Homo-oligomer: A and B are copies of this chain.
Amino acid sequence: MESIPNVLAERYASASMCAIWSPRGKILLEREFWIAVLKAQDELGLSVPEGAVEAYQAVIEQVDLESIRQREQITRHDVKARLEEFCDLAGHQVLHRGMTSRDLTENVEQLQVFRALELIREKVAATLIALSRRAEESKSLPITARTHNVAAQLTTYGKRLAMFGEDMLHAFTKLDQILATYPARGLKGAVGTQTDQLRLFDGDTSKTAELDAKVGAHLGLPASLDCPGQVYPRSLDFEVVSALFQLACGPASLAKTLRLMAGHELASEGFAKGQTGSSAMPHKMNSRSCERVNGFHHLLRGYVTIAGELAGDQWNEGDVSCSVVRRVVLPDAFFALDGLLETFLTILGQMEVYPEMTAAENARYLPFLSTTAFLMEAVKSGVGREVAHAAIKEHALATVRDLRTAKIKENDLLDRLAGDERLGISREDLAVVLDRAAGETGAAVEQVNRFAGRVGELAKRFPAAADYKPGTIL
């Protein structure tokens, strides 16, 4: 049969993320776990042959996937195949005592999840730092904010970036909380009552408690479950995947907005160094990476649905109807977010904004956005409110009409207003009003500063994150 790679891992995810989820990576974690249990059992008085621990440790890196595959064809049991392989390599048969398959696989899979979450956290910190830098450097650049995709008021480009950054920053707190509370299933036996380990220790609950504690220390997870069944509650998987999705939302909105801005030539996601646009069509800077960010976000939304199907569907102490689902959805969700972050970091490194274009857009819309200010100016200078309102409305509508029918190329509302005797405001005074409006970006700069301040605290927690460089993307 032809080999078919996992496309998310192969094309988009980073090497570190792949190492956690690769067949070899999982086997290494399993072997470490088995040895940790063996050591703990030894320390607690179960007889373990001299040299056995060392023998296992000596062969831990000898992972032969093909040999294991052949064993599974015979045993029809994947854990058994991997156990026999390891034992044969070490020349001992003392692993897995009092353990069921799930005692191994549940904990190791949780470990994969936890380490992958830690990797994601570091990368999200890097992303927030890069985004915050971008927001700060453009915090005073006025752009036309849009609601309903139509010009509404001024804001600044930095504020727009911070807006999406704050979305991600909030999601970060959720990720943090999971990493602070994620509970391990532990060595709880076939149905969760620890009966199997208790038998080994002749019912001595203090010893099984100590064993569980030692194993927990090896895993390094922040909490442990008291009452699981054969499996840990699958709502934990849902919690993790929905947190991954939530982290993707800020980047997805920013990517979508950048695609919109690129359509107006206000900004672009940029090019890799040395890369240029198509010579045939130099204007065509396609937002391929932004589109890809949106694609990953779509996938993650679907993975939330899939992880949701596992949760709240437990029969008695558990079964394996979730098995094939988890084999797919856990790694793929992490690969997707990892690929998204790599891509998004690349965008943050390369994206460009065109200040002359944003200024031109502002100029086009600012007169319309300032009609209230003109009205106030007219009223201040003694014109009746009703009269002024009627006059301004008349000219504004006419200007829109003439722009849309290309009678005029630029917004000449000021000239029209200046020429209307009903209003009696000079072109100069109108221009003063407009100039004032052109700088009116409200609290945008301070808002960016606050965002940057919060990211700054994060940067202290994750000192290496500021220097993270994404891999080369396709």
Contact = CB atoms under 8 A, between A and B. Distances in A.
Contact of A304 (B242, B257, B444): B242
B443 A193 contact: yes
B198 A443 contact: yes
Given A151-B284, A318-B147, A246 B24 contact: no
A47 interface: no
A191 B283 contact: no
Nearest to A24: B2
A110 interface: no
Given A4-B9, A441-B195, A246 B311 contact: yes
Interface stretch (A53-61, A117-125, A290-298, A377-385): A290-298
Interface stretch (A31-39, A321-329, A419-427): A321-329
A93 interface: no
A112 interface: no
Contact of A2 (B25, B146, B208, B322): B25
Contact of A263 (B162, B262, B264, B444): B264
30 contacts: A1-B18, A3-B22, A4-B18, A4-B21, A7-B327, A11-B324, A145-B191, A146-B315, A147-B286, A148-B319, A150-B262, A152-B284, A159-B192, A165-B227, A166-B226, A166-B227, A166-B233, A227-B447, A233-B250, A249-B311, A253-B312, A279-B393, A282-B400, A284-B368, A295-B320, A298-B321, A299-B325, A304-B304, A356-B405, A357-B404
Contacts of A288: 148, 320
A167 interface: yes
Contacts of A470: none
**What copy number does this chain have within its complex?**
4
Nearest to A209: B443
Contact of A286 (B148, B173, B236, B253): B148
Given A12-B324, A324-B12, A354 B404 contact: yes
A357 to B, nearest CB: 6
Given A11-B327, A263-B263, A299-B325, 5 more contacts: A2-B19, A3-B3, A162-B227, A165-B227, A298-B325
Nearest to A189: B442
A417 interface: no
A253 B313 contact: yes
A195 B153 contact: yes
B249 A191 contact: no
Interface string A262-278: 11110000001001110
Interface string A440-452: 1111101110110
Please provide the 6 A-B residue pairs with the shortest distance between their CB atoms, ordered closest to farther. A193-B442, A302-B306, A252-B312, A249-B312, A356-B406, A195-B442
